């Protein structure tokens, strides 16, 4: 399996970087993951500036999304899966020749244009997580999905 992550914002803290690096290393034996970090906009001072900042981040994200990629936006209101269901969904997408690209917004979220371009939206929880932590959670779940798909043991 080969995946892409398009992420608004960089991982600045070493502990997030280390966690992501560990899962990238683990995923490398299953095909790997490409992580593309996109510049985030400063925290806006007004609602109008908020919308403009979201648009700018969305334009950056969409410009890096390849036409052949199957765009999966991470959203609180998206479809939920069990780990086994997520693994099966990834296997189905890959069997259909689709390359999943996961879209993770920054502190402002994702723009309307990104949601409209997304082929689907998925949720890992009804809770909101910091985008840095969400990246780690996603990488861990991709690793778990690869292990499940390969018939290898995984923690339940």
Per-residue pLDDT tens digits for 31-89: 999 999 999 999 888 888 999 999 999 999 999 999 999 999 999 999 999 999 999 99
pLDDT at 137: 97
How far apart, in whole angstroms, are the C-alpha atoms of residue 110 and residue 137? 18
pLDDT at 156: 59
Q: Which domains does the chain have, with CATH numbers?
A: 3-149 (3.40.1280.10)
Average pLDDT taken over every residue of the chain: 94
Instruction: State the CB neighbour count (10 A cutoff) for residue 123.
Output: 15
* Whole-structure pTM value: 0.94
pLDDT at 45: 87
Cα 83-85-90 angle, rounded to 5 deg = 95
pLDDT at 154: 81
Report whether 71 contacts 103 (CB < 8 A). Answer: yes
How far apart, in whole angstroms, are the C-alpha atoms of residue 132 and residue 104? 9
Structure token digits, residue 50:
């908020």
pLDDT at 49: 93
Give the bridge partners for 7, in sequence order. 37, 104
Report whether 3 contacts 12 (CB < 8 A). Answer: no
Query: Is the CA virtual torsion 80, 143, 20, 40 positive or negative?
Result: negative
């Amino acid at each position: 399996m080969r995946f892409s992550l398009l992420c608004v914002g960089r991982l600045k803290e070493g502990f997030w970087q280390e966690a992501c690096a560990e899962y990238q290393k683990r995923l490398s034996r299953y095909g790997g993951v490409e992580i593309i970090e996109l510049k985030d906009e400063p925290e806006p001072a007004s609602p109008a500036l908020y919308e403009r900042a979201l648009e700018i981040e969305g334009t950056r994200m969409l410009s890096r999304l390849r036409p052949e990629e199957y765009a999966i936006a991470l959203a609180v209101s998206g479809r939920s899966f069990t780990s086994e269901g997520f693994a099966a969904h990834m296997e189905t997408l890959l069997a259909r020749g689709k390359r999943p690209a996961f879209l993770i917004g920054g502190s402002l979220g994702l723009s309307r244009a990104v949601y409209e371009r997304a082929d689907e939206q998925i949720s890992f929880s009804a809770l909101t997580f910091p985008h840095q932590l969400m990246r780690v959670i996603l990488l861990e779940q991709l690793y778990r999905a690869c292990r499940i798909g390969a018939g290898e043991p995984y923690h339940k």
